Amino acid sequence: MHIHNRLGMVEGLETMRAQERRLDQVANNLANVDTAGYKRQKMAFWEMLYNVTDDRQRIGKGAHNLIDHQQGNVQQTDKPLDLAINGEGFFRIQTDRGIRYTRAGNFELDPVGQLRMPSGGLVLGQGGPVVLDPAGGEVSIDPQGLIQQDGAPIDQLNIVTVNDLTNLAQEGDNLFRLEDDGAEVAAVDFRVRQGYVEKSNVNSVEEMTAMIDLYRNYQAQQKMIQGIDEMDNLAISRVGKLS
């Protein structure tokens, strides 16, 4: 294994770039502090062995993001079509791109009475999209997701979760996408609350702290690179001099 100070520089650079990604994430979390059902992103770093050309190896930085699926605060809105899930699970949503999942329960009716998200995805019940009678009376939804209109049962919300939450990726429009090796499982431990919406789970104090932390980390790496530069400078100008 070759060791030389170039490696320190590369490491410093990698760490700086990772901190930039982290800031992108913090900025995205803060931008979505008021987005219904938004889940904050975190980043995990670990060390890993990279193969470099001509069989040299070095230790580098691996990074990937984690979605923090902790429940956000639930806010009362008193709108009959605002639904929050207390506990596990997601609303199943039918979009043009396939089935998606969301915790953002700020639903509305479209002109034909289908329950949908503001961005257009249709909320699925047991047998396809939930359709309410636009001319009908009051809609009530019980904790198990059973939808009743004028006291008559209409449909039951299809609330599911996935075998491993890390298989969910954020897609924008308040939706999650199931990655290839994920599988749906029925949600058990949940209660649907009508007239409430789950807010974003971004905690502003945590994000501000992360911002301070990553900034100082970035500065420290800069100093390290400058230190290596200083060593190089000395090597160039001093090595071989007698006095």
Q: Which stretch binds other proteins (CB under 8 A): 85-93, 111-119, 122-130, 184-192?
A: 111-119
25 binds other proteins (CB under 8 A): yes
How many Cβ atoms from other residues are within 10 Å of residue 146's Cβ? 15
Nearest Cα to 199, choosing from 52, 39, 54?
39
CB 126, CB 106: distance < 8 Å: no
Q: Which stretch binds other proteins (CB under 8 A): 88-96, 154-162, 169-177, 184-192?
A: 169-177
218 binds other proteins (CB under 8 A): yes
The sign of the CA dihedral 55, 60, 64, 70 is positive
**What is the smallest separation between the CB atom of 118 and other proteins, expressed in angstroms?**
4
Of 5, 20, 209, 232, the one binding other proteins (CB under 8 A) is 20
Alpha-carbon gap, residue 39 to 103, rounded angstroms: 9
CB 198, CB 73: distance < 8 Å: yes
**What is the smallest separation between the CB atom of 158 and other proteins, expressed in angstroms?**
21
The binding track of 123-162 with respect to other proteins, each residue x by CB under 8 A or -, is -----------xxxx-------------------------
Alpha-carbon gap, residue 55 to 52, rounded angstroms: 6
CB 84, CB 36: distance < 8 Å: no
- Chain positions contacting other proteins, by CB under 8 A: 16, 19-21, 23-28, 30-36, 38, 41, 48-51, 57, 62-65, 77-79, 104, 106, 108-113, 118-119, 134-137, 169-174, 179, 204, 207-208, 211, 214-215, 218-219, 222, 225-226
